[in-house]
Amino acid sequence: MIEDTIVTENVKSRLAGVLLPPGIGPFGGITAPVSDPAARTRRNGRKLCGDLDEAIRRSGLKNGMTVSFHHAFREGDKTINTVMERLAVLGFRDLTLAASSLLSCNAPLIEHIRSGVIRKIYTSGMRGKLAEAISHGLMAEPIHIHSHGGRVHLMDCGELAVDVAFLGVSTADEFGNANGVSGRSHCGSLGYAMVDAARAAQVVLITEEIVAFPNAPASIRQDQVDLVVAIGEIGDPSKIAVGAARMTSNPRELLIARLAADVIEHSGWFEDGFSLQTGSGASATATTRFLETRMVRKGIKAGFALGGITGGIVELHQKGLIGKIFDTQSFDAVAAESLRTVATHYEISTNSYANPSSKGAYCDRVDLVILSALEIDLDFNVNVITGSDGVMRGASGGHSDVAAGANLPIVVAPLIRSRIPTVVRRVTTVVTPGDTIGVLVTDHGIAVNPNRPEIAARLKAAGLPVTTIEDLYQRAIALTGEPEPIAFQDRIVGLIRYRDGSVIDVVRQVKA
Amino acid sequence: MIEDTIVTENVKSRLAGVLLPPGIGPFGGITAPVSDPAARTRRNGRKLCGDLDEAIRRSGLKNGMTVSFHHAFREGDKTINTVMERLAVLGFRDLTLAASSLLSCNAPLIEHIRSGVIRKIYTSGMRGKLAEAISHGLMAEPIHIHSHGGRVHLMDCGELAVDVAFLGVSTADEFGNANGVSGRSHCGSLGYAMVDAARAAQVVLITEEIVAFPNAPASIRQDQVDLVVAIGEIGDPSKIAVGAARMTSNPRELLIARLAADVIEHSGWFEDGFSLQTGSGASATATTRFLETRMVRKGIKAGFALGGITGGIVELHQKGLIGKIFDTQSFDAVAAESLRTVATHYEISTNSYANPSSKGAYCDRVDLVILSALEIDLDFNVNVITGSDGVMRGASGGHSDVAAGANLPIVVAPLIRSRIPTVVRRVTTVVTPGDTIGVLVTDHGIAVNPNRPEIAARLKAAGLPVTTIEDLYQRAIALTGEPEPIAFQDRIVGLIRYRDGSVIDVVRQVKA
């Protein structure tokens, strides 16, 4: 908005002979009033870029810098691939990619890693061909797998300094006010993006729709945004519920979900005003459904629900069984619509949600959480990242965050998946340390961490099928046999960062 | 939340022989699960202080540091005096007081300046006995008078680094989620406090009411707050509308207000979707009323209203004549109630509102603003801080911010007040440079800044009584005579900081 500078001599002369304090200068004049409509349009539209190339150029991005993205569109995301493709075409190299997570849809990144555009990756997880390729040694540097809260911690402690955040938003105005609840392709909560908007040196909004100023509510605010550019498509919201966030009709998953609801009911934490996070796994989502009858029967209501929000949680909220929703990621269209329209459904950043070094995270205040597992071992350590073949195919997510914070973290998992045991002697990869897990619920019974004897006593008193994790393990291998050890090479392809930034495990390259 | 640390040896052994990247350490264990209800209560309540003394002690405040406050309760504020009184009793010295503004109610601070508790002050303004005393040389160091946007700029550029912010909020939960719209004493928007909460090293919430976690909406968030303490009274909301923010039935003020509405109507900016800020002055507030009929007659609506919000603005919003409200300070109970209940009435920080070095401020996007003046001179320079006796008795506020940003800043003022001219040859103190002022509306006619000839042409074409500022000045002194120059001493008692941090004028000590 620099127009001609006018120096008002009459004003400046007032300071003649005045000795100002060190570091404080005299008034030097103002910029001219913008009475010319053309100048006004220029001023107001200064952040708006004609195309993505212009936005990239104006962001000041250079080789070796760090670019960031959010994954609220999950398998429907189009922003990451589109931007990385342009960065490749423009010849950028040695970039660090800091995505809040990566999914199967991000397979095109393989090419950009091969060609040297991407040198290093921070992400909560990976799936599909990209994960397969990285597990097989695609990258020279190991990938960093962090939790949602741990990502913010890595930013705040300086390790992960984002130079340019490219944030997909369904609508933005030309001044940078944006949300994920209006426009054509809404993802709902921008909980991940809010973190980057508050921390990146340059913030570029990638939007499908430029709306009239002032866009409100502003999940991302004009005072955080440098540049705004419209592209054809930022994401397909119909694919958000694909993958992790699905409903189930599988009888075994329903059995586990019912048992998990029983555990909650008798845990000692199921009192009026309790709080919960049920997440996005199939059994976890189903648990929400079974809670309803138990809450009605006992005449209690939940104070709040936290985290990734599904239609099931929204339904309980609509029925008055949950007081408030704190939504860091909307797992389906129902959740996104509720966030848009319901006053007591609040959008929160992943800093507020789970950053262990923030001044206060919701995950430290939640009572009951349902978590999933690819593997869980005799120490209750949980693996949510590597499959039984040693290939990465999951995400750390908020798993270790809420496990550390919640009053009772409950893992739900079938004892056996496709003839492969879930309960193992020693998990392939530790993402969440066992000491933070309270209960394991399987279709063959319930195991309680020995460090929570009061919980075991309550569940036994309620007549629930409580056994030991050793017993579940023996049952599993009796059915499947002890699995063959996975053949790994020595080379490390992934570092599993605990939420405090430490390395809790490494992932080694699988043998081809 | 530090409980016993448990180190899971089985997990740590996984990293045997692994060489980690520099600066990244191995997992060292977790804190124990909190199954003990007493430990849980301790963890959850860790921010809660038993009394103000404990909060002060735990904040780490030391002599010579900077403490900050907001003034949303205006003349009803009780937080500033209460906290400063305790700091005095506890023996603190040489503090810098950074209040978003000070009012007549803050007269007790005189004693703390005298006794050396307060050494330096940053504020937007002062009134009453405190202002009188400082104008007469109470302080060894000159006071810094800043604008609302300029205050944030001074914080962001490092000059004004707040060590401990003491923020009065009507309700807070024990974890630090707070707002100004619930509870007994609601001030409405916490626009000033939001800035300090985001920037101060230590944030202490001073509240009348500790409510159940999670308090929502959270204008100030748990991840910004270190300590929470309840005190008897933080402020009396019935006194918010005292002073600057009052309604008028004075015929001269109503005449000016009607003329200002005429100016708006014919300014060229009065089109569908226009935006406005009418502020808190008597004529300014009344102007809002006269706009209604003009909007209805022309069949247009305002896109948004900005800044300090009054019941008059809320009424237009309720009638659908204003689309959105962006509220940085609620000037009365009607505004506070609307903020609490109406989805399109948004709370914004003074960073979003007016910080000239933020990435985007609303004040740069507003079309029409009504501003007040104690004096305005032949260069259109405006004084809103010193009275005709040279004593400080006003506030910089958002005056220079919106004058610099708005498309048409309109000053409204009576030509003469109590036989003292408002239009003068040279204002006693420049707060807002004349080059940013578009139009002056008085009860004796309208003057347009020569740098806005297109506005003058439009108003003349509409038949409005447009004259020159020289003519208004001559009329004024014809009625009152040329005022005697004020007798000042050489000593500087105040530095007027323009919004960019520069010194635009100084205030000298008045002769006793």
Quote the pTM value.
0.95
Strand A375-377 relative to strand A382-383, pairing: antiparallel
Each residue of B277-331: pLDDT tens digit?
Answer: 998 777 878 898 899 999 999 999 999 999 999 999 999 999 999 999 999 999 9
Cα B88 to Cα B54: distance, rounded to the nearest angstrom: 15
Cα A441 to Cα A456: distance, rounded to the nearest angstrom: 12
Could you tell me if B242 and B199 are in contact, meaning their C-beta atoms sit under 8 angstroms apart? no
User: Which pLDDT value is given to residue B244?
Assistant: 47
Each residue of A437-479: pLDDT tens digit?
Answer: 999 999 999 999 999 999 999 999 999 999 999 999 999 999 9
The SS3 call for residue A261 is helix
Cα B212 to Cα B173: distance, rounded to the nearest angstrom: 6
Which residues have a Cβ under 8 Å from the Cβ of B485 and sit 6 or more positions away? none
Cα B459 to Cα B463: distance, rounded to the nearest angstrom: 7
Residue A1 has pLDDT above 80, yes or no: no
For residue A235, the 8-state DSSP code is: B
Which residues have a Cβ under 8 Å from the Cβ of A154 and sit 6 or more positions away? A122, A144, A146, A160, A497, A501
Q: Describe the strand order of the beta sheet including A445-448 as a list of residue ranges.
A: A345-347, A322-330, A302-309, A274-277, A368-371, A408-412, A439-442, A445-448, A466-467
Chain A residues touching B27 at Cβ < 8 A? 433, 498, 502-505
Instruction: Give me the sign of the Cα torsion angle B52, B57, B59, B65.
Output: positive
Q: Binning pLDDT at 50, 70 and 90, where does residue A84 land?
A: very high
The SS3 call for residue B283 is helix
Each residue of A329-387: pLDDT tens digit?
Answer: 999 999 999 999 999 999 999 999 999 999 999 999 999 999 999 999 999 999 999 99
**Residue B492: half-sphere exposure toward Cβ, Cα within 13 Å:** 19
User: Which pLDDT value is given to residue B245?
Assistant: 47
Q: Of A44, A360, A506, which is closest to B225 when you measure between CB atoms?
A: A360
Q: Average pLDDT for residues B43-47, to the nearest whole number?
A: 88
Q: Do B11 and A504 touch (CB under 8 A)?
A: yes
Residue located via tokens 């397909």: A236
Residue A8 has pLDDT above 70, yes or no: no
Residues 272-291 of B with CB under 8 A from A: 273
Cα A125 to Cα A123: distance, rounded to the nearest angstrom: 5
Tokens, residue B440? 């002056």
Q: Of B47, B435, B502, which is closest to A25 when you measure between CB atoms?
A: B502
User: Which residue has better confidence, A85 or A247?
Assistant: A85
The SS3 call for residue A45 is coil
Q: Do A346 and B217 touch (CB under 8 A)?
A: yes
Residue B1 has pLDDT above 60, yes or no: no
Residue B60 has pLDDT above 70, yes or no: yes
* Residue B251 CB burial class (10 angstroms; 0-12, 13-18, ≥19): exposed
Q: Binning pLDDT at 50, 70 and 90, where does residue A293 land?
A: very high
How near does any CA of chain A get to the CA of B398, in Å? 16
Amino acid identity of B188? G
Which residues have a Cβ under 8 Å from the Cβ of B255 and sit 6 or more positions away? B443
Residue located via tokens 């940078």: A176
Cβ neighbours, 10 Å, residue B341: 10
Residue B41 has pLDDT above 80, yes or no: no
User: Which pLDDT value is given to residue B49?
Assistant: 97
Q: Do A498 and B360 touch (CB under 8 A)?
A: no
What is the DSSP annotation of B27-86? P--EEPP--SHHHHHHHHTTTEESSHHHHHHHHT--TT-EEEE--TTGGGB-HHHHHHHH
Please work out, in degrees rounded to the nearest 5, the angle formed at the alpha carbon of residue A384 by the alpha carbons of A378 and A385. 120
Q: Do B504 and A216 touch (CB under 8 A)?
A: no
Q: Do B505 and A15 touch (CB under 8 A)?
A: yes
Cα A338 to Cα A453: distance, rounded to the nearest angstrom: 39
Residue A242 has pLDDT above 80, yes or no: no
Q: What are phi and psi of B296, to 5 degrees?
A: -65, -45
Q: Binning pLDDT at 50, 70 and 90, where does residue A34 land?
A: low
Considering only CA atoms, which of B183, B289, B190, B312 is closest in space to residue B241? B312
User: Which pLDDT value is given to residue A13?
Assistant: 82
Q: Give me the torsion for CA of B45, B183, A194, B195, rounded to 10°.
A: -90
How near does any CA of chain A get to the CA of B287, in Å? 22
Cα A33 to Cα A37: distance, rounded to the nearest angstrom: 11
Chain B residues touching A430 at Cβ < 8 A? 11, 14
Chain B residues touching A35 at Cβ < 8 A? 407-408, 438, 451-452, 454-455
Cβ neighbours, 10 Å, residue B344: 13
Each residue of B213-263: pLDDT tens digit?
Answer: 999 999 999 999 999 999 999 999 999 886 544 567 889 999 999 999 999
Residue A3 has pLDDT above 70, yes or no: no
Could you tell me if B335 and B181 are in contact, meaning their C-beta atoms sit under 8 angstroms apart? no
Q: Do B44 and A455 touch (CB under 8 A)?
A: no
Q: How many angstroms from the chain centroid is the CA of residue A483?
A: 32
Looking at chain B, the number of H-run helices and the number of E-run strands are 16, 27
User: Which pLDDT value is given to residue A232?
Assistant: 92
Residues 231-260 of B with CB under 8 A from A: none
Q: Do B216 and A430 touch (CB under 8 A)?
A: no
Q: Which residue of B has its CA nearest to A354?
A: B223
Cβ neighbours, 10 Å, residue A419: 10
**Residue A251: half-sphere exposure toward Cβ, Cα within 13 Å:** 0
Residue B168 has pLDDT above 60, yes or no: yes
The SS3 call for residue A249 is coil
Residue A244 has pLDDT above 80, yes or no: no
Region at B23 (left for phi over 0; alpha for psi -120 to 50; beta for the rest)? left
Residues 100-159 of A with CB under 8 A from B: 159
> Is the peptide bond between A214 and the residue preceding it cis, with omega within 30 degrees of 0?
yes
Cite the beta strand spans of B299-397 per DSSP E.
302-309, 322-330, 345-347, 368-371, 375-377, 382-383
The SS3 call for residue A24 is coil
Q: Average pLDDT for residues B454-477, to the nearest whole number?
A: 98
Cα B35 to Cα B112: distance, rounded to the nearest angstrom: 48
Chain B residues touching A361 at Cβ < 8 A? 222-223
Q: Of A29, A214, A361, which is closest to B223 when you measure between CB atoms?
A: A361
Each residue of A107-127: pLDDT tens digit?
Answer: 999 999 999 999 999 999 999
User: Which pLDDT value is given to residue B33?
Assistant: 56
Whether A434 and chain B come into contact, CB under 8 Å, resolves to yes
Residue B357 has pLDDT above 50, yes or no: yes
For residue A119, the 8-state DSSP code is: E
Instruction: Give me the sign of the Cα torsion angle A56, A59, A64, A65.
Output: negative
Q: Do A32 and B6 touch (CB under 8 A)?
A: no
For A274-300, give the secondary structure using H, E and C: EEEECCCCHHHHHHHHHHHHHHHHHCC
Q: Binning pLDDT at 50, 70 and 90, where does residue A9 land?
A: low
User: Which pLDDT value is given to residue B289?
Assistant: 87
What is the DSSP annotation of B442-480? ETTEEEE-TT-HHHHHHHHHTT--EE-HHHHHHHHHHHH
Q: Average pLDDT for residues B487-510, to the nearest whole number?
A: 97
Each residue of B381-397: pLDDT tens digit?
Answer: 999 999 999 999 999 99
Cα A498 to Cα B15: distance, rounded to the nearest angstrom: 13
Chain A residues touching B361 at Cβ < 8 A? 222-223
Q: Of B28, B212, B407, which is closest to A40 when you measure between CB atoms?
A: B407
Pick among B2, B4, B6, B8 to test the A interface (most A CBs inside 10 A)? B8
Could you tell me if A411 and A284 are in contact, meaning their C-beta atoms sit under 8 angstroms apart? no
**Residue A27: half-sphere exposure toward Cβ, Cα within 13 Å:** 28
User: Which pLDDT value is given to residue B161?
Assistant: 98
Considering only CA atoms, which of B501, B471, B355, B492 is closest in space to residue B429? B492
The SS3 call for residue A27 is coil
Considering only CA atoms, which of B222, B201, B42, B228 is closest in space to residue A353? B222
Cα B119 to Cα B112: distance, rounded to the nearest angstrom: 9
Cβ neighbours, 10 Å, residue A223: 23
